[in-house]
Amino acid sequence: MGRLIVFNSVSVDGFFVDGNGDMSWAHNANKDPEWDAFVADNAAGGGVLVFGRITYEMMAGYWPTPIAAQNDPEVARGMNALPKVVFSRTLQKASWSNTRLVKGDLAGEIRSMKARPEDMAILGSGSIVSLVAQEGLVDEFQLVVIPVILGSGRTMIEGIDRKLRLKRKTERPFRNGNVLLCYEPMA
């Protein structure tokens, strides 16, 4: 049975996008070989990437480009090779390699996907995270706390209307200041 993992970067003050909807602040300028290896391993790890339209368009606009291949060859290779699902009511087609467009029932489709053996990772896509978290479909939240305070923005679970209790699974600090925190929902 596949697991649904949410993987997002958040600021110290809890935002996953800034007040302009930008996520570029999450790309730490401090070079850290351990962090770079972690990111490359994640991209090569397999599974299915899950996106909403906005995150999909951002990712599809970068990872298949020569600039991505030059700047982050291992990550670009993984991102382009992995199977992807984009949920959108407005997108007409999904042209990024190995991408399937789903326009229907998000929660129902995720339930069907979880019946398969592949794990899934939602990247970005706050509206999707809110919905699947509220439906109890998330198996693990992997949050990378980036050492920056934004002052305003959106949380990745904006709009959730009930409290979700989590238990800490693991944590991992990196030399660049990033800290990976992993949580599982409490039963």
Q: pLDDT digit string (tens) for 128-147?
A: 999 999 999 999 999 999 99
Q: Please state, in angstroms and rounded to a whole number, the distance separating the CA atoms of residues 26 and 12.
A: 11
| H or E element that contains 17 | strand 17-18
Domains located in the chain, CATH noted: 4-8+30-137+147-185 (3.40.430.10)
Residue 112: which residues within 8 A CB-CB, separation 6 or more?
Answer: none
Q: What is the largest CA-CA distance in the chain?
A: 45
User: Does residue 15 contact residue 154 with C-beta atoms inside 8 Å?
Assistant: yes
The structure's pTM equals 0.92
User: Does residue 59 contact residue 131 with C-beta atoms inside 8 Å?
Assistant: no
Residue found under tokens 């970068």? 62
The CA angle 9-156-151, to the nearest 5 degrees, is: 75
pLDDT band at residue 104 using 50, 70 and 90 as cut-offs: confident
